[in-house]
Every structure is written in structure tokens, then in C-alpha cells.
Chains A and B, each alone.
Chain A
């Protein structure tokens, strides 16, 4: 059973995650691997030339380190060591909005159903659900809300710019 949700569907994961890697020789030929940011930065030219290597960021990483590479890296993953660690949400937004990353933005780590909507709004389009949880059931988490008010990566126009012009439609069961 796949644990990866991509574009709102369960898919087989074409990538493997390397939590640690010390040399280029460790990477197999033609295996799609996601390597740590320090390793990426140390070997970026070789890895970009391969074209089949992605990179993952710890929550304390500065995404600006990838500013020059966003057009060359196919997958960026952001690690959530605990689902309550919210730094990755801002990292996602910076990668999408400021640095213009268009590839797969993947949430890894303690990824659970109840955080998927917010992650998706912050630009994540792939979610590696924690291995002990039902990824099929987690899909429902993407639909918790239709949209919200704020400016986000997925919905750059906030609600006050999207709301339809025309007569007000207050709800009949009003507060007054």
C-alpha cells in the first residue's frame, strides 16, 4: 500500500529518502534519491548534472540556500520532526512564493491527515504519510476546507479579492 499522496491521489513513490549520505559513490546509478541539504550543497554541480536527485531540508534550514537551484532540482522535501513543529509551513511558502520552485514539494516526517490541508495551502503537493497510518484515509484531510481567508501559496488571492462582486448575501440565521 503506497504511503505517498501526490496531487491528491495515492501513488507509488519513485523516490527514496536518504536521511544520511556521505559520498557520491553511495548513490546508486539511476536510483532517484532525496539527499540532505548539506550534501546537496557540497555536490550540487554533480547532482544537478545527474538530474535525478532531490534534496530535503531540516526545519532549521534556510531555504535561501536553494535559491539558485530551484529550476534544477526536481523534488524538494521538508522534514517535520514533529507535526507540531510549524517551521516547515513557512519554508514551503518561501520556496514557492519567493524562490519560485515549481517542482514537487514534499512533506516528510511526522505527516498526518489533520495537517494536510494547511500543508497544501502552503505549497506542498506531495505528502509522505507516517508509515503507521492509513494513507488512503488521510486523503480526506486535504478536503477539510474548500479554502480559507489568507493569502497562501496555493491561493495567492486572499478571500477578500476572490469574493464575488454583487449584492451581499448575509446568512439568514444571522447573529443579530
Chain B
């Protein structure tokens, strides 16, 4: 993984000093609440329902054993011994004290981590494919590009006060695993007819109150122009994005109001003026960054593991886990393992300090001392020997991370909701748990196959409900918590937004509603058809009729 040089370290260290000074001035009354708010937000610090909430950046989701141990230590010493992995591949602490935050940031800096721009109206943590470097469908490893973008966006002085937050996803594979089409900017590596690598660039996607699928602003951008092009997009947005209404301030709104062709012309004109300038990325710089992401010292295998095949044949539980939680690796004899943070009874994405340390141990034993955070709030060990899969599985069962539900209905993406978040209209975690308890039959779940269920406690959509095959949104009706259900959303290359099926439901009815939706799917599906495909084929009406026929 990337390692800071002296310059990188100095930027992060000075950011800690700056924020320590800002915090002290705030505590002395020299900065007002309004003046301090954007400063703390750009260091990841929210003031939440019960306490401050600190969002720690995990750049493009990549984290080392040493960093995991530091996160464990911080959560134990400064919080209540647990944290929450988010859909932005970050880690949130829910109970730090404001006056401790500078010390927490200083500790993070000792392991080359920070909380810079994890909130606020600025460029947020850039996300990428959790399978970067090991996926079989990769055109280019996105991590050097993601690190380049991390550096470029860090304290970018022109874009410190954008109209609204700004999220970028970069993928190097043919299958998009980053939800690029619901980002402010998505960049997907492609090759042109000469075989040159570049990026297809998407703009104006987003979730939240007004969800939109991004449009393609450029089919092929020469790779070395990536930062110039991003500068051009952000400059047009910074100058023209709406600042009169925070709910209309995301780039998607200005793209829509200007219309995509007009927005494109402005960006392209801006790009033409800076194209080829100093922001053009030299080949040797991307090569330098790529040297931090070379293959680990793999062993050579002529064929896949015989012992692994035998273990699958031997044990149904193991074969279930292998089918759902293990993915093929680009190298023979290796596998990609997803640790499910979705066991029933634990809020999705939550880990304790002891869990973080145990995971650090696992990365050392099984996967070259690194893990990745997925935007579905699970963790990935990317480089596991197939010969080790059975022993890893045994260990994961002890730790509670072996639930064989990756991509299944109970692999619920979920924000912290009304239990923690002051923005939420409704709780999300107890609803997720009620659904998980209702679908506790593993054979049935397994038979249902791929089905993404995403839930957000409010329309800010941190739980990505718009792109859930089934989406649940917490809403407030006269001070009561209700839940609106949508179907037909999807992430990936064919991203789509879910459609609301009708009036919202009381919390207690939500599991029944999900059962009815699933029943309609089971009755109507063609062979090998996933839930989303059935919804696309038959439309939402049959689902709607079933749900509302009996629900009063």
C-alpha cells in the first residue's frame, strides 16, 4: 500500500496542528459555532445526537494491520470500544469527546491516517473497487489513481468551500463495484482503439433527496489528464452550483438545470484552457505511485487447490460460505474472501476494538497484512491462499464474521439511523435486525440468491436505499417513524434508481412487507433470474398489489 514520504507526513501533521489550534480557539470562545462548524466538519467531526461523531478516512478503503490496531486502540481509549464502517469505506466513532479529537488525529497521523475532508462541502474520501489489484476483470489497478486523487484533493485550496459535498469514485475494472454512477464524479478505466488506457467520466450522479444516475460527460479521457479534467468540472461547479438552497446544491442539480450538453461544453472549454498544463500527470509519477501497489510475493501454483475442492465437497456449511463469501482471484491458488459484518444482532458495519485487532491478526496470518473496506460495509481479505481457506473459515466462525450471506438479503447496507444520527427521521438498525431475524433460514436465503437490501434512516441516503434492489427509507409522519419501500434499484454498470411501491409502513410491518415482495419474486422468477431481473421484467405492479392487498 501507499507509504507517506516526508511531504505527505508534514501535510497531515500540520493539519493536526491547525485543527488543535482551531479547537482551542473554539473552546476559548474565539471562534463562534458557525465559524468552527465547517472547520471541524472538514476534519470529520460532527456534533451528533448523543456526542460528537468522528469519521476517519480510510483512503480508497485500504487499511493495514498496523492501522487496524491503531483504530482499535483509539476506539478503546477515546470511545466506547467500537466503530462503524460506512458506505464511503470510512470508519465512524460515535462517542469521542470534542477536546480529545486533536489527540485522536495526532495518533492517526502516526500510522499515516487522517480524517481530512470526510465531511463538509469539499471533495470527500475517494472510493474505489475493493477488489483492486486482484480482480480478474481489471483493465488497470485503480489504486495509484485513487492515491493521486487523494493527494490532489487534500486541502485543494480552490475547492475548500464548494456549494455542497463532492464524492468521487474510481474503478479500473469492467464490472463497476464502486457505484460510480451515483457519484458526483465517477471515473472508469477504459482502453481506446489503440489500447491506450484512459477514463470514461461520469458526472452528476447522486443519492440523497434527489437521486440521479450520472451521465457520461466524456467517453475517453486520456489518463494523464485526469486531474485537469477534475479541476475543470469542479471549477464549473464551484462557480455555478446553487448556493441558495442546500437541498439543490449538489452538482447533479446544476447539471440538470444547465442540461448535460451545456454543462459538458463549459467543462470542456475550461479543460481546453488547462489541458497539457502543469496538472497533467507525468508518466513517471503514476509509475512511482504504482510501485506502492505491486503484487505481494505470491507463491506460484499450476492449478487451483485440491484440498479446497475437497473441503467444499466435504462440508455443506463450508461450501455455502465459499459460494457466497469467496471470489475468484487473478492468481491460481489464491482467493478473495469477504468477512461479513452482517451477522444478525450486530448493527451492519459495526466492529469492536477486539474485532479490529482480531482482523489485524487475520491479515497478518492470511493476507499480506492488509484489508479492504467495501462500500457494502464488509471487509475483504484480498490475497488468501486457497489452501488456507478452511482454517480461515474456522477462525472467522469463532469471530462471527463467517455468516455466508454476502450479496444476499441479510447482507443489509444500513446507516446508523435514529439511534445515533441527529439527521435521521427514523431508526434503521432495529429494522435491519428484524428483517435478518425473519429471514433466518439459510437454505431459503441461499435459494433467493443475489438480493441487495439497503436502508437509510433519512433522505440523505447514507444507506444507499435508492440503489438497493429493495430500498427502505425512514420517514417522519407526525412525529412517528414510518418506512417507505422501493424496489428496482441497482448499483453497478446498469445502475438504476428504485421506485417507491406506495404508502409507507409502520416498523412492525416491514419484515412482512419484505416477505411479500420476496414471495412475488419466487412465484414469478424464471430460472436463474435474480430479484432485480424479475422486477425489471414484470414491473413493480405485481409487487405493489401483493403488498397492499393484505396490509392495512
Contact = CB atoms under 8 A, between A and B. Distances in A.
Interface string B57-90: 0000000101100000000000000000000000
Interface stretch (B176-184, B273-281, B347-355, B511-519): B273-281
Contacts of A160: 148, 151, 281-282, 285
A114 B22 contact: yes
A98 B231 CA distance: 14
Interface string A85-104: 11101110100001000000
Interface of B is mostly: helix
B1 interface: yes
Interface string B1-29: 11111111111001100100010000000
Contacts of A149: 11, 151-152, 154-156
Contacts of B282: 160-161
A31 interface: no
Interface stretch (A9-17, A18-26, A35-43, A151-159): A151-159
Interface residues of A, number: 41
Interface string A51-87: 0000000000000000000000000000000011111
A87 B239 contact: yes
B158 interface: yes
Given A85-B161, A171-B4, A174-B3, A148 B11 contact: yes
B4 A148 contact: no
Given A114-B22, A159-B151, A171 B39 contact: no
B271 to A, nearest CB: 13
B243 interface: yes
Most buried by B among A115, A157, A160, A171: A160
Contacts, number: 136
A118 interface: yes
B293 interface: no
B216 interface: no
A173 B152 CA distance: 23
B121 interface: yes
Nearest to B154: A149
Nearest to A114: B39
Nearest to A121: B157
Contacts of A98: 273
A27 B418 CA distance: 59
B110 A173 contact: yes
B505 interface: no
Contact of A117 (B10, B157, B231): B157
Given A160-B282, A175-B4, A84 B38 contact: yes
Contacts of A176: 1, 3, 64, 66, 369
Contact of B11 (A84, A145, A152): A145
B1 A175 contact: yes
Given A144-B14, A152-B157, A171-B3, A161 B278 contact: yes
Nearest to A140: B21
B358 interface: no
24 contacts: A83-B161, A84-B38, A86-B162, A87-B239, A114-B22, A118-B157, A145-B18, A149-B155, A150-B153, A150-B227, A151-B227, A152-B157, A152-B158, A156-B278, A158-B278, A158-B279, A160-B285, A161-B278, A173-B110, A174-B66, A174-B112, A175-B3, A175-B111, A176-B369
Interface of A: 83-87, 89-91, 93, 98, 112, 114-115, 117-119, 121-122, 144-146, 148-152, 156-161, 163, 168-171, 173-176
Interface of B: 1-11, 14-15, 18, 22, 31, 35, 38-39, 64, 66-67, 110-113, 121, 148, 151-163, 227, 231, 235, 238-239, 243, 273, 277-279, 281-282, 285, 369
